[in-house]
């Protein structure tokens, strides 16, 4: 375990967004103070989200509507990490994409083309266009040899009034029908954490990750050997922590606890 004082001394912070900074379209208590503290203290920081729907520009605009002014360079998504990974695996490759603009644009920007005939990859992200026809298409392309990629392994995601199936749930039928396992790029894969720290220019010893999910945020930090802060403002309740074989280094009510001046 670590103290709040030691956490505050970190030079760099990687923070989840949904459940930490906002929930749906509502900013969470203490989030504004946390962001202002990061800026005032000249901390290196990156908002790292497993969501692949939105681009950094769209995320910047969303926070601006909530009264937070953050440069788009401070945002990194599983879509960007997926595009980066695939560009190193097969430069200028092609993909059949089940996903929204954030994912499609990230792949275009890394030289990928869209292909629904004989793609190198079938890439699955969150998508409102997911339906049986798309599922059948994806299954048969994988059966023909396309590699199956998921932007993140999340089974569910929060929405106002409940939850929605996330990428892991949307990918599962394709895995079952093809007997092929997808490779997931997002948290807790250490790959996305290395991309994040490279973007920040920070070392693991001087970095902390703040998140609300034990199975993605906290596990990602542990597997990347950086210190972890679980906030109880999202999906994980304090009495659920003992359900896991690992623990966060510190548990906070919300990110506002980090910004609160020491007394």
> Would you name the residues annotated as active-site residues?
16, 18
Residue 89 CB partners (closer than 8 Å, separation 6+):
none
> Tokens 């401070």 correspond to what residue?
74
The DSSP element (H or E) to which 75 belongs, if any, is: strand 75-77
Are 40 and 254 contacting, i.e. CB atoms less than 8 angstroms apart? no
Query: Of 228, 258, 232, nearest to 48 (Cα)?
Result: 228
Are 46 and 241 contacting, i.e. CB atoms less than 8 angstroms apart? no
Residue 131, exposed/middle/buried by CB under 10 A (0-12, 13-18, 19+)?
exposed
Task: Please enumerate, as own/partner, the contacts of 218-221 that have beta carbons within 8 Å and a separation of 24 or more.
Answer: 218/244, 218/246, 218/248, 219/187, 219/188, 219/246, 220/187, 220/188, 220/189, 220/190, 220/192, 220/193, 221/14, 221/193, 221/248
Q: How far apart are CA 260 and CA 37, in angstroms?
A: 9
Q: How far apart are CA 213 and CA 196, in angstroms?
A: 18
């Amino acid at each position: 375990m670590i103290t709040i004082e030691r956490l505050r001394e970190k030079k760099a912070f990687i923070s989840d967004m949904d459940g930490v900074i906002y929930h749906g379209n509502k900013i969470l208590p203490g989030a504004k103070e946390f962001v202002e503290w990061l800026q005032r203290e000249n901390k290196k920081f990156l908002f790292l989200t497993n969501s692949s729907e939105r681009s950094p520009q769209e995320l910047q605009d969303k926070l601006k509507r909530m009264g937070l002014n953050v440069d788009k360079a401070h945002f990194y998504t599983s879509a960007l990490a997926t595009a980066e990974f695939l560009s190193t695996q097969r430069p200028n490759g092609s993909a059949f994409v089940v996903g929204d603009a954030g994912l499609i644009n990230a792949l275009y920007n890394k030289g990928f083309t869209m292909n629904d005939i004989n793609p190198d990859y079938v890439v699955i992200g969150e998508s409102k266009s997911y339906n049986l026809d798309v599922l059948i298409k994806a299954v048969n392309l994988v059966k023909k040899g396309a590699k199956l990629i998921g932007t993140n392994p999340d089974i569910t995601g929060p929405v106002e009034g409940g939850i929605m199936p996330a990428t892991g749930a949307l990918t599962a039928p394709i895995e079952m029908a093809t007997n092929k396992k997808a490779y997931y790029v997002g948290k807790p894969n250490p790959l996305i954490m290395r991309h994040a720290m490279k973007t920040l220019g920070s070392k693991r010893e001087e970095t902390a990750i703040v998140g609300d999910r034990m199975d993605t945020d906290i596990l990602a930090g542990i597997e990347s050997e950086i210190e972890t802060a679980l906030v109880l403002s999202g999906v994980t309740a304090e009495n659920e922590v003992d359900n896991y074989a690992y623990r966060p280094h510190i548990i906070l009510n919300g990110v506002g606890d980090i910004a609160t001046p020491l007394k």
